[in-house]
Amino acid sequence: MALSMDKIMGIQQHTLGIRTQRAELIANNIANADTPGYKAKGLDFQQALQQAQRGTESYKLSRTHEKHFNHEVKPQGTEKFRVPNQPDTGDGNTVDVQLEQNLYAQNALEYEMTMNFLDGKISGVKKALGGGQ
């Protein structure tokens, strides 16, 4: 019986990449908090997860060498502009730094939770295969 990583890891392997992308978006929002005209972006997590589960159509694969693949998780069309919660300050920037910091902290906790879950899955597989005591 062949082991399938999709069956072993389940949905968590996809959520990890999406949480990474979300962290990058939020960090970019925070970095551009003082940039006039910058529009804060968010990630439609459910849409990104559905695309990731569908398979390679939502991923960009490019060859860097005939034996190498550069796998970059970028679900298409999942980045959305965030609706501002605060009035415009006059410069057109829609970043609410406090909101972004809270979202970043929440995403970091969810990322850690996903990593812990995957660690448990990997430990279980190792034990099942007789490699982990």
In the predicted model, what is the mean pLDDT of the chain? 79
Q: Which residues, listed in sequence order, are joined to residue 68 by a DSSP beta bridge?
A: 65
Over range 78-92, report the average pLDDT: 82
| pTM attached to this predicted model | 0.72
Over range 22-44, report the average pLDDT: 93
Query: For 97-127, what is each residue's pLDDT tens digit?
Result: 999 999 999 999 999 999 999 898 888 888 8
At 63, the pLDDT band (50, 70, 90 cuts) reads: very low
Residue 58, pLDDT score? 39
Higher pLDDT, 14 or 111: 111
Residue 80, pLDDT score? 87
Exposure pattern of 23-56 as b/e (b: 16+ CB <10 Å)?
Answer: bebbeebeebeeeeebebbbbbbebbbebbeeee
Over range 74-89, report the average pLDDT: 74
